[in-house]
Amino acid sequence: MVNSFDEAAAKLTSLNGEITKVLDWNKNELVKLSEKLKDKNDFYYIARGINFAIASEGALKLKEISYVHAEGMPAGELKHGTLALIEPGTPVVVVCPADYTFSETLSNAMEAKSRGAYIIGVSDKESDIYDSWIKLPEVDELLYPMVAVVPLQLLAYYFSINRGCDPDKPRNLAKSVTVK
């Protein structure tokens, strides 16, 4: 019988191949998206549960290297003011793998779309609600953050380049190092 440590180690080892799939499946879409949206100055990233951390990371990377307003928030909080900011074409990145958060997150995406938002779905399950789809492989529920964060970081990278920014030298940010 395989113990839980061995199972966890095997799942983590398999992530390398899953992340490679994400990159292969989405690179062209991410390049096109970054070109299409390069003039947008407001992005909203929504998700529920463990996926909220991924939405926050995606927004952080975009604002750090592209200098645009980007906000990550729990999908259920969209109703508390942010929906008033949605205008036609406003990009809303929806992190919603087919886990226990899928239906409710998609419902929040529909609310944004009904106000004209441009919906970018980050999921292993396609939906008619998405204007663009960043496809994820099916993985264990707890591993979705590790496969979902990569295309969001790559989107920020391409977006930064399309806006004429240098993603390797973001302004006003410095790496922290410990010197002994």
**154, pLDDT greater than 70:** yes
Predicted local confidence at residue 180, as pLDDT: 55
pTM (2 d.p.): 0.90
Task: For residue range 4-15, list pLDDT tens digits in order.
Answer: 888 888 888 888
Which helix (H) or strand (E) segment holds residue 42: the answer is strand 42-47
**176, pLDDT greater than 60:** no
Task: For residue range 127-144, list pLDDT tens digits in order.
Answer: 999 999 999 999 988 888
**89, pLDDT greater than 90:** yes
All domains in the chain, ordered by first residue: 11-162 (3.40.50.10490)
CA–CA gap between residue 139 and residue 72 (Å, rounded): 23
CA-nearest of 133, 149, 123 to 62 is 149
The percentage of residues in the chain with a pLDDT greater than 70, rounded to a whole number, is: 95
Task: For residue range 38-78, list pLDDT tens digits in order.
Answer: 999 999 999 999 999 999 999 999 999 999 999 999 999 98
Number of alpha carbons in the 13 Å side-chain half-sphere of residue 45: 25
Task: For residue range 102-114, list pLDDT tens digits in order.
Answer: 999 999 999 999 9
CA–CA gap between residue 175 and residue 180 (Å, rounded): 16
Identify the three-state secondary structure at position 156. Answer: helix
76-84 average pLDDT score: 87
Q: What's the mean pLDDT when you consider all of the chain?
A: 91
44 in Cβ contact with 73 (< 8 Å) = yes
φ/ψ of 122, rounded to 5, equals -120, 100
Predicted local confidence at residue 12, as pLDDT: 83
75 in Cβ contact with 172 (< 8 Å) = no
Q: What token pair was written down for 51?
A: 């996926």
